[in-house]
Amino acid sequence: MNPLRVLILGGTSEASTLARALRDDARFAPTLSLAGRTLAPVLPPIPYRIGGFGGIAGLVDYLRGEAIAALIDATHPFAAQMTRHAHEASAETAVKLLRIDRPAWTPGPGDRWLGVASMAQAAAALGAAPRRVFLTIGQQELAPFRAAPWHHYVIRSVDPPPPDARPPDADIITARGPFAVADEQALMLAHRIEIVVTKNAGAAATIAKLEAARALGLPVVMVARPPAPPMPTVATAAAALDWLAAHAAAIRRGV
């Protein structure tokens, strides 16, 4: 029996975990796809490719050309375009699609969250008075904060944002999670942070900033996830492996 050819759309720890789980499993022939956003990506232990497909049509061509039988969308909850493309390409090719979508963070006792729907709303929520802001939203969506240049920003991202994308008064910290609560608290105190802005990524590796903000009594502007098209979805790499195993077994039975 030929192994099931699987394309994992990556960029998350769930994608990496699934890649490791499939590495030595003879039922599957997986490939991981990375967008190529970070300068030094963590490379998987399975075959991989880097870079966009060229829109929906390009992804359709890839799925057909590589005879992919299962598509796993394990992109970041905010990678809405890639998720939409996966949905459309699956519909066009009838390649089975599963999304791995980790649960969103939810506020608990002691949290001071302000929920907003967009990065523009997050920038507006900082207000008219200058504040010291810890901005942990990556480096692709800084434009709304350039429009609020009276704040001091501490921007943390994996790679440094290009100088012309930054707000004028900004310290840049390059780092990749996981982060520890004590370190996050120390960072916030050292930079005299007054408010945190983040997106609801839901990742275990980056939750420490929320615990640190709670401990320090700091408000958090939380950007909600963009909507995704309806599709079969699981929360973990382990559940995706179960789904793949069932799919491979069904193909073997000729279902």
Instruction: Report the interface residues with ligand NAP, using CB under 6 A.
Output: 9-12, 33-35, 37, 52-55, 58-59, 75-76, 78-82, 85, 138, 140
- The least distance separating ligand NAP from the CB of residue 214, rounded to whole angstroms, comes to 23
Report, in Å, the least distance between residue 202 CB and ligand NAP. Answer: 11
- Write down the least CB distance from residue 128 to ligand NAP, Å: 27
Alpha helical stretches, state H, 141-222: 143-146, 181-190, 208-216
Characterize 218-248 residue by residue with b for buried, 16 or more Cβ atoms within 10 angstroms of its Cβ, and e for exposed. Answer: bbbbbbebeebeeeeebeebeebbebbeebb
Beta bridge partners of 137: none
For ligand NAP, give the closer residue by CB, 132 or 236: 236
DSSP H or E segment with residue 223: strand 219-223
Shortest separation between residue 198's beta carbon and ligand NAP, angstroms: 10
**Minimum distance from CB of 78 to ligand NAP (Å)?**
3
How far apart are CB 130 and ligand NAP at their closest, in Å?
Answer: 27
Q: Give the DSSP letter of residue 115.
A: E
- Considering the complex, what minimum distance in angstroms separates the CB of residue 201 from ligand NAP? 7
Q: Which two tokens stand for residue 216?
A: 């320090």
**CB closer to ligand NAP out of 51 and 217:** 51
> Which token pair is 191?
């930079």
Nearer to ligand NAP, 121 or 132 (CB): 121
- 177-185 long-range contacts (CB < 8 A, ≥24 apart) are 177/203, 177/205, 177/206, 178/204, 178/205, 178/206, 178/208, 179/205, 179/206, 179/208, 179/209, 180/208, 181/208, 181/211, 181/212, 181/215, 183/208, 184/208, 184/209, 184/211, 184/212, 185/212, 185/215, 185/216
Closest to ligand NAP by CB, 10 vs 30, is: 10
Looking at the Cβ atoms of 33 and 185, the one nearer to ligand NAP is 33
Nearer to ligand NAP, 41 or 130 (CB): 41
Q: Is 136 exposed, middle or buried (0-12, 13-18, 19+ CB in 10 A)?
A: buried
Beta carbon nearer to ligand NAP, 4 or 100: 100
